[in-house]
Structure 1
Amino acid sequence: MKRLKVFGLLLIGAFIGSNLRYLESLVFKPQDGFPLGTLVANLSGALVLPFLIHYLQDRYHLSTNTILTLSTGLLGSYTTFSTFTADSFRLFQNGQWWLLFWYLTVTMVGGFLVALLGNYWAASQAFNDWSKRK
């Protein structure tokens, strides 16, 4: 029964995340073949995940099921490695080498940098909470 509950929570998170991803793709349409929507989804997910794990979980004592729903369900369906690889291959096939280079670089390096920023954001929020208690 517990696994069925977790499965249901993941379905809810995935439903929300995939719909957010679709909405985001309507807002950030590809420009000159550059997959801006996928980039925005992956970078924003890379920013939010460390904050979720390192701050919200500790600050609000979120349950394992809640974290699983938000991280694996919602963010897992919102961010998209498969679309990233498909977009990269499309740029490669079309001979858009410069866009491919920028897309790969910004996604990989940018993802790492915004993940660092997410960790910094979590730490600064935790410090602010701690200093308010004194």
Structure 2
Amino acid sequence: MTVLTWIGVGVFGALGAYARFSVAGVVTSRRPSDFPFGTFVVNLTGGSVLGLLTGLAVHGDVLLVFGTGLLGAYTTFSTWMVEAQRLGEDGDWATMWLYLLGSMLAGLATTGLGWIIGHAIR
């Protein structure tokens, strides 16, 4: 991996983190709820774009910069887990399970759809 790739991963990682903060904030402000819609939307959109990139057969440094840097910083497993755990702590078991299972099923669907679109374009 070249120095330029390392720099690209860092720069695009910063952009991805900023995008996550912005998108999650906008979604949450427009849809206040106990359900963590901000993280839900971020993870689904990030998964769909990563699916698109892999469907397009993007590889090498380009995949590192955009897949690992941008989308790795944009999506968030840890926040998803903490939000689910907090819903459970609050006794909101139905929302917790809806969030966990809904995120997995919708995430697989949107990532798969992104891959199908990318593969069709390729």
TM-score by length of 1: 0.82
Q: Percent identity?
A: 30
Structural RMSD (CA) = 1.6
> For residues 1-134 of structure 1, what are the structure 2 equivalents within 5 Å?
3-29=2-28, 31-55=32-56, 57=58, 64-126=60-122
Q: Which structure: larger Rg?
A: 1
Q: Which amino acid aligns with 1:97?
A: W
* 4+ residue runs over 4 A deviation: none
1:113 Cα offset (Å)? 1.0
Structure 1: distance between partners of 2:63 and 2:71: 10
TM-score by length of 2: 0.89
Query: Which runs of 5 or more structure 1 residues have no equivalent in the other structure?
Result: 58-62, 127-134
Structure 2: distance between partners of 1:102 and 1:73: 29
Structure 2: distance between partners of 1:113 and 1:17: 22
Structure 2: distance between partners of 1:26 and 1:87: 15
Range 115-124 or range 68-77, more displaced: 115-124
Number of aligned residue pairs: 120
Query: Which runs of 5 or more structure 2 residues have no equivalent in the other structure?
Result: none
2:35 is paired with a residue whose SS is coil
Q: Which amino acid aligns with 2:104?
A: M
